[in-house]
Amino acid sequence: MDQNTLKQAAAMAALDYVQQDSIVGVGTGSTVAFFIQGLAPMRNRIRGAVSSSEDSSAKLKAAGIEVFDLNAVNQLDIYVDGADEITSHRHMIKGGGGALTREKIIAAVASKFICIIDETKQVDILGAFPLPVEVIPMARSYVARELVRLGGQPVWREGLVTDNGNLILDVHNLKILNPCELERQINQIAGVVCNGLFAQRGADVVITGTEQGPQISE
C-alpha cells in the first residue's frame, strides 16, 4: 500500500469519533484532507468545524461544512490532525505545513487530540524531521542565533508567510531527548510565536494507517 492509502485509512477511522451535532476541530495537511473528504457526507449530522488554517477552511467550506471562529466556540470534543513525527509517548513534531500555531491553539481547547498518521511517522526519538518554529519577522535572525545556542541548525523557510503573517525557521539536527523541556525553552525566546513540539499537550488517541489496517492507541 502506498503512503496516501495508509493516510486515508487512518483518516476514515477517525470519523468514528465525530459526535452528532458537534463542532469538530480540524487540522491541516494531506492526511486531514482525507478526513475532510470523509466528513463531507456527514455535514448534516454536525454543526460545523473550527479549522487550523486558511487551506483547511477553504476545503471545509467547499465540502459544505460551516467554519466557526474559535472565539465563538466554548468547548470542542475532538481535534483531528496529522503529525510529522510521533513517539510512543505521543509527543509530536508538527508544522510541516506551517500551521503549527493555530494547530496548538485548537489542540489546547479540545478535550481529545486525535492524531491520524501513516506508519512512517512513528519514531523513537524526535528530531530527524526539522522542527518548525514560527517567529515574528523582525526577530528572525535573533531567534536563529538562540536556536543555534540550543544545538540546532535553523533554516529560514523562504517564501512562506504563515496565516498569522509570520515566518518559519526549520531547525535541523536536533536529537530531542526531552521534548517537554525543549518546547518550554524555545517558547521562552523573545520573538518566538510557537514551536512545533507538541509534547506538553500531546495526542490522546493515535490512529495509525498500517498494512494490516488502522491501529488505534488510546
84 is in an annotated binding site: yes
**Positions that interact with ligand 5RP (CB under 6 A):** 27-31, 81-84, 94-100, 103
- Reading the block at residue 72, the C-alpha cell is 465563538
Query: Which residue's CB is nearer to ligand 5RP, number 45 or number 217?
Result: 217
DSSP structural state of residue 80: E
Cα separation, 111 vs 147, whole angstroms: 32
Closest approach of ligand 5RP to the CB of residue 21, in Å:
26
Query: Do you know the residue count of the chain?
Result: 218
Query: Which residue's CB is nearer to ligand 5RP, number 11 or number 189?
Result: 11
Query: Which residue's CB is nearer to ligand 5RP, number 96 or number 214?
Result: 96
Asked if 103 is an active-site residue, the reply is: yes
97 is in an annotated binding site: yes
209 is in an annotated binding site: no
31 is in an annotated binding site: yes
Query: Which residue's CB is nearer to ligand 5RP, number 55 or number 77?
Result: 55
End-to-end CA distance of the chain: 25
Q: Which residue carries 498494512 as its cell?
A: 211
Torsion-angle region of 165 (φ positive above 0: left; ψ -120 to 50: alpha; else: beta): left
Closest approach of ligand 5RP to the CB of residue 31, in Å:
3
Closest approach of ligand 5RP to the CB of residue 121, in Å:
7
Assess contact for 6 and 118: CB atoms under 8 A. yes
Assess contact for 104 and 113: CB atoms under 8 A. no
DSSP structural state of residue 123: -
DSSP structural state of residue 173: S
Q: Which residue carries 500551521 as its cell?
A: 99
13 is in an annotated binding site: no
128's enclosing H/E stretch is: none
Closest approach of ligand 5RP to the CB of residue 212, in Å:
20
Q: From the candidates 103, 134, 146, 183, give the one annotated as an active-site residue.
A: 103
Binding-site positions for substrate: 28-31, 81-84, 94-97, 121
Binding-site positions: 28-31, 81-84, 94-97, 121
Active site residues: 103
